[in-house]
Structure 1
Amino acid sequence: MPKKTIKIVVEGGNVKPGPPLGPTLSQFKLNVGEVVKKINDVTAQFKGMTVPVTLDIDVDTKEYEISVGIPTTSSLLLKKANAQQPSGDPAHKKIGDISLEDAIDVAITKKPSLTTKTLKSAVKSILGTARQIGLTVNKKDPKEIIDEIDQGKYEDILSKYEEKWTKV
């Protein structure tokens, strides 16, 4: 039973049956409307964000399995800041502000795809991305927050999330 894998990047909860997905699914004789509805259902929690999706199709039986990846760090941060897109000039134009807890939440969400071992280093990585796309954290430049983390200023906040980090 040959299997075919299709990898696509979609907007969560907003997949359309048109090209390029529709024709691709049609060639495997799948019900395009049904597959699109299922993809929209499983990606609904990521509405408005770009999310990777993998379709594993059994060519003989026409059965398929949908796997949803984790949205990009930028997408998660933009959603937390209620911003539409990154700043074209992050050094001079800020597009929003998030809390340190928001950054910690994004780090925990992204843990499976991060190479860091500790919550502290994961949060610092997320803060770096926040800085690159033009976000402030607690109304400060994320670099300042990184320096303060290195000085031990947020140990109490980080320790509150440590258990959640280890369970992911």
Structure 2
Amino acid sequence: MGKKITVEALVDGGKASSGPPIGPALGPTGVNMGLVIDTINKKTAGFKGLKVPVTIEVDSADRSFEITVKTPMTSSLLFKEAGIEKGSGEPNVEKVADLTIDQVCNVARMKRDDINSIAFENAVRTVLGTAQSCGLTVDGIEPKEMQEKIKSGEVKVKE
């Protein structure tokens, strides 16, 4: 087993290319660039239109590689659900979109492993915290209020 070379990059879902940042970093390793790019594009196809963090680990001895794909940032997933490109510059003053609790739950399902939350309810509350900082509302109310309603049991979330 040779030296491990690790490259971390942020790629467009399903649209990675051999250009920067991947190409220049992997070129000297001699790895099959086309195969690496194809693998990344297959693994990130479900995240079209989003920036996806990927880690490429290459064994310099046999030129084998392993690709790890993480989920996009929570805010990016929320923006996609809301149909907007960016959040509010002043989230406590300007609200830019309203999501349903079901949309928030969809994002929580995608991010659950990254959030390291055992209880789904906690993952939802974490995503609501991000929604708050992006200037989003949920079912017409502040995400903080929705967090309290979930905590008190007034609103039930389905896993």
TM-score w.r.t. the length of structure 2 is 0.88
CA distance in 1, matches of 2:150, 2:139: 13
Contact 1:25-1:31 at 8 Å conserved across structures = no
- 1:22 Cα deviation after fit: 1.0
CA distance in 1, matches of 2:151, 2:35: 50
Which amino acid counterpart does residue 61 of structure 1 have in structure 2? D
Which amino acid counterpart does residue 59 of structure 1 have in structure 2? S
- 1:115 Cα deviation after fit: 3.9
The answer for the alignment partner of 2:26 in structure 1 is: 25
CA distances 1:59-80 after superposition (whole Å, capped 9, x unpaired): 1222212111122111111111
Q: Indicate the percent of aligned positions where both proteins have the same amino acid.
A: 39
CA distances 1:103-135 after superposition (whole Å, capped 9, x unpaired): 112122212122433222221111111011111
Which amino acid counterpart does residue 109 of structure 2 have in structure 1? I
- 1:53 Cα deviation after fit: 0.7
CA distance in 1, matches of 2:7, 2:126: 30
CA distance in 1, matches of 2:79, 2:138: 12
Runs of 4+ in 1 over 3 A off after TM superposition: none
- Matched length: 158
Which amino acid counterpart does residue 91 of structure 2 have in structure 1? P
After TM superposition, the structure 1 = structure 2 runs for residues 130-145 of structure 1, keeping only pairs within 5 Å, are 130-145=131-146
Q: Is 1:87 matched with 2:88?
A: yes
The answer for the alignment partner of 2:123 in structure 1 is: 122
CA distance in 1, matches of 2:78, 2:15: 19
The answer for the alignment partner of 2:63 in structure 1 is: 62
After TM superposition, the structure 1 = structure 2 runs for residues 32-111 of structure 1, keeping only pairs within 5 Å, are 32-111=33-112
CA shift in 2, pair 1:63/1:117, >3 Å: closer
DSSP-derived class of the 1:128 partner: helix
Which amino acid counterpart does residue 91 of structure 1 have in structure 2? N
CA RMSD of aligned residues (A): 1.7
TM-score w.r.t. the length of structure 1 is 0.84
